[in-house]
Amino acid sequence: MAHYNIQAMLSYMLIAPLHPNPTNDMERRINELCLKYHTYMVEMDVDYGAVMLPMMFSHDFEDQIQQYATLVDPKNNQFEILVERNNQGIYLTMG
């Protein structure tokens, strides 16, 4: 099995609704309107300092990815990074 197939398999298995057991009408509506969370594993080239987005993610969201992206960590720190595209994929580089 190729490495990108393993990434795709893991991301499909980690899909979960926002509220697994909605208790009120508002939570049910949120589940219907919001997208489900996906967990994607990414590779990083330490020498080049770039993160390649998984092919599945790139194909699903290619038209929505702008020149700059903002990443937010669990402590609400925000990082603006440059998005570069080439024939091999989409990379997150400088930031």
Among 32, 34, 38, smallest CA distance to 16 is for 38
| Cβ pair 50, 82 in contact under 8 A | no
CA distance 32 to 36: 10
Instruction: Return mean pLDDT, the chain.
Output: 69
- Give the pLDDT confidence of 10-36 residue by residue, as tens digits: 444 444 556 678 888 888 777 766 654
Look up the pTM and report it: 0.47
Domain ranges of the chain: 1-41, 43-95
